[in-house]
Amino acid sequence: MIKGAHVILYSADADADRRFLIDLLGRPTVDAGGGWLIAQLPPSEVAVHPAEASGAIELYLVCDDVEATVAEWTGRGVPFETPISEERWGRVTAFRLPGGGRVGLYEARHPLAFEL
């Protein structure tokens, strides 16, 4: 039985990104050994989109109110790089991690798989 999923983000500054996400998400962590913290994520879902080349992976955090979340996180110093846009599937924006990685944030219009 599958119990969950493990997401790996590769970063030029893994320590900074790890601290940033742990502080931002405020979720419990576990020590995988030697102080290597792994943060718990909220419930998740996975989608597979068509592409000309395989291998690209994107991470989106899902929220109930993207405007309120952007306002709160901007106040905490999160650097959003795009304005909120209206898409068929939801309202979306993105921010950068300290190491340069891009993370999306969106308010879904579709039923969420983890709420089924």
Domains of the chain: 14-115 (3.10.180.10)
The 10 Å CB-count burial string (b at 16+, else e) for 29-56 is: eeeeeeeeeebeeeeeeeeeeeeeeeee
| pLDDT for the residue 116 | 61
| pLDDT for the residue 90 | 93
Confidence (pTM): 0.87
| pLDDT for the residue 69 | 97
Phi-psi domain of 64 (left: phi exceeds 0; alpha: psi -120 through 50; beta: other)? alpha
Give the Cα separation of 84 and 63 in Å (integer): 13
Give the Cα separation of 91 and 17 in Å (integer): 25
Q: What parts of the chain have a pLDDT lower than 70?
A: 116
What type of residue sits at position 29? T
By CB atoms closer than 10 A (0-12, 13-18, 19+), residue 81 is exposed
